[in-house]
Amino acid sequence: MTTYAYVRVSTKEQKIDRQLAAIEAFEIPKKRIFYDRQSGKDFERPEYQRLMKKICPGDLLIVKSIDRLGRNYNDILAQWQYITKEKTAAWCEQNLLVLFLFL
C-alpha cells in the first residue's frame, strides 16, 4: 500500500501550510504529495490528474477536508466513486475521520 496526499488552495496567494501540517503525521514523502493552486470548480487540475494516474488498488489517499477536493457535491461524489470503486483505493478525509476501504 502506498499513501498519497492531495492538497489544494484556490489562489496562488493562499498558503498550503495548514493542510501540509494536518497530513504531516502520515509521514508521506514529498514526492507523493500532490497540490494544485487553482479553483475546485472542476477536476481538470494538473496535479490532481497526475495523482489519479499514479494511485493504484490498495493505495491510501489523504485529503485534509472534503472541500479541498472540490466545490461541487455531485462532482466530489463522482470522484469518490472513481477512487474507491474503479481504482479500488482507500480514502481518508481527515475532518470527518472517515476511512472508506473498498479493497
- How many angstroms separate the Cα of 103 from the Cα of each of 56, 63, 89, 98? 11, 19, 7, 15
Q: How many CB atoms are located within 10 Å of the residue 39 CB? A: 14
What is the identity of the amino acid at 44? E
* Catalytic residue chosen out of the listed positions 10, 38, 39, 84: 10
Residue 10: active-site member? yes
What residues are labeled active site? 10
